[in-house]
A = this chain, B = another copy of it.
Amino acid sequence: MTDMDERFYKIGEVSEMLGIEQHTLRYLENNLKLKIKRDERSDRIYSESDIETLKLVLKLKEKGLNTTAIKLALENAEETEETGMATRTNNTDLVELVSVARKIVEQNEELLKQNKNMEKRMEKLEEKIERRNEEREKKVQEFLDLWKSEQGSKNKSWLSKLRGK
């Protein structure tokens, strides 16, 4: 819980690490209803904890449990993980933990707000750039047209016209 592990593995790597085929990984994901995250390309990305889970799954498979049973076992494991902390920590620790967690939540809320602000700013920036581009575009185009037409008709002093404008 202390480790915010940002390391993610792709299916090929996991397959290598655990010695099971990719299609088996996908099969397990479907059957056990594991929720493996995806990246922008919707490729699976496995977190360390996912891999721990998979290791457990493999052990249970070794023991001869079918996926239905493993599913239940995983639920239990999660529960005992949660409750396991209670048996090991006394109340004061727990209270402290909760308060720290609360702080994190606050911070996260702050971050969320900031992100939203940034998004808004981005939008404005996009608009601005868009407008500016169009303007420039227009000007250059105008100028070019003007000059072209000038060329086409006569060779009057386009420069003076420009000046006049």
Contacts and interface: CB of A to CB of B under 8 A. Distances in A.
Dominant secondary structure at the A interface? helix
A159 interface: yes
B118 A115 contact: yes
Interface stretch (A17-25, A50-58, A96-104): A96-104
Interface in A67-93: 68-69, 72, 82-83, 85-86, 88-91, 93
Nearest to A148: B146
15 contacts: A40-B116, A65-B72, A69-B69, A86-B93, A86-B94, A90-B94, A96-B98, A100-B105, A104-B108, A115-B118, A121-B122, A129-B133, A146-B147, A158-B159, A159-B162
Interface of A: 1, 40, 63-66, 68-69, 72, 82-83, 85-86, 88-91, 93-98, 100-105, 107-112, 114-122, 125-126, 128-129, 132-133, 135-137, 139-144, 146-148, 150-151, 154-155, 158-159, 161-162
